[in-house]
Amino acid sequence: MSPAVRFVNVSRRFGSVRAVDGVTIDIVEGEFFAMLGPSGSGKTTCLRLIAGFEQPDEGHIEIFGETAEGVPPYRRNVNTVFQDYALFPHMTVGENVAYGLMIKGVGRADREAKARDALAMVKLAGYEERRPAQLSGGQRQRVALSRALVNGPKVLLLDEPLGALDLKLREQMQEELKALQKELGITFVFVTHDQGEALSMANRVAIFNEGKIVQVGSPADVYERPRSRFVADFVGSSNVLSPAFAAGHAGAAKWTSLRPEKIGVVPSGTPVPAAHAHADGEVKTISYQGAVTRLGVAAEDMRIIAELPAGAAPLKEGDSVRLIWPRSAMVTMEDGA
């Protein structure tokens, strides 16, 4: 079976800049696939290449086994939800949702019925006669999603669609999008620079940097086993241990990732369990973050971040502590990456 989307050595240049640089990836039919990376890393350009808003300078793109190069956006079985929603202010919600069907020549009664069904799918039944200006940001987001889904796309492209929402609403929409994708079973390709969104929603995540994909895997794979210093730093929070420090603490003489939550903080002199490593140091910073408290500890020639559950034994700056972690929590990475 052909993948929903296939990139084979795809590049896209803008002048001397390679926005996308030799990307090869298969996106499986029915998966929630996230493209994650900092601004300018190439993820949005890849989304635009799938949509047909950009054409590759090199390489090959397929959508469900059919060549996509040169095929205009309106002839691709994909739809895009944009960050700014792009709703028509002079139209009602129902007219906005039905607009694509009208362009396709679908009869009025049929398209209105389909629009009502699509709005009910995103919990906006009864909103057909309202105008976009009468809606909250979250409701406008749902209308934009409904407008894309009403066309029955085989691939739904989401370009940072939650970026304009406040934190609580964004978290709610993350859950709703994930549930909706599971219910519909269509392929979602989601672009974001927010690693929390990618990890919480996607089946697989592609990490982009400087136009290239530097790692692909499940959220647990890319978080627990980062292949490079870039991924370790960008996805979550990590202590990147130097080869010398790692080798001196029962690890390999390579750049090594150690996640803060893997580290226990105990009084100096506490015995170290088998299969664990340790470092002694001094608490330099304490940052209360609700569910956890983050400690910055000066240990030998490094500043190591550790996370403790809220309400753990109280510590203060200047306290001497022992950091203890399982050796298995030390993940070696590509040198210099």
Q: Distances from the Cα of 236 to the Cαs of 40, 194, 259, 325, in angstroms? A: 19, 10, 9, 18
Q: Distances from the Cα of 260 to the Cαs of 213, 296, 302, 305, in angstroms? A: 25, 10, 14, 6
Q: Distances from the Cα of 101 to the Cαs of 109, 114, 149, 151, in angstroms? A: 11, 9, 11, 7
Could you report the per-residue pLDDT of 310-319, keeping only the tens digit for each? Answer: 777 688 899 9
Rg over CA atoms, the chain: 24
Output the CATH code of domain 237-332: 2.40.50.140
Query: What percent of the chain shows pLDDT beyond 70?
Result: 98
Could you report the per-residue pLDDT of 226-273, keeping only the tens digit for each? Answer: 999 999 989 988 999 999 999 999 889 999 999 999 999 999 999 999
Q: Which of 28-32, 85-89, 96-100 has the highest mean pLDDT?
A: 28-32
Give the per-residue pLDDT at 1. 65
336 confidence band (pLDDT: 50, 70, 90): low
pLDDT score of 92 more than 70: yes
Q: Which residue has the tokens 């300078």?
A: 57
Provide the edge-to-edge strand list for the sheet that holds 256-258: 239-241, 256-258, 331-332
Cβ–Cβ < 8 Å for 244, 230: no
Cβ–Cβ < 8 Å for 193, 199: no
Q: Does domain 5-77+153-228 have CATH number 3.40.50.300?
A: yes
Cβ–Cβ < 8 Å for 326, 247: no
Predicted TM-score (pTM) of the model is: 0.88
Q: Distances from the Cα of 187 to the Cαs of 5, 64, 137, 182, 304, in angstroms? A: 9, 11, 25, 10, 40
Q: In this structure, how many other beta carbons lie within 10 angstroms of the beta carbon of residue 329?
A: 17
61 confidence band (pLDDT: 50, 70, 90): very high
Domain with CATH 2.40.50.140 in the chain: 237-332
Q: Which residue has the tokens 């400087």?
A: 210
The DSSP secondary structure of 18-45, one letter per residue, reads EEEEEEEEEE-TT-EEEEE--TTSSHHH
- Evaluated on CA atoms 74, 80, 83, 84, the torsion sign reads positive
Domain with CATH 3.40.50.300 in the chain: 5-77+153-228
> How far apart are the C-alpha atoms of 266 and 280, rounded to whole Å?
10
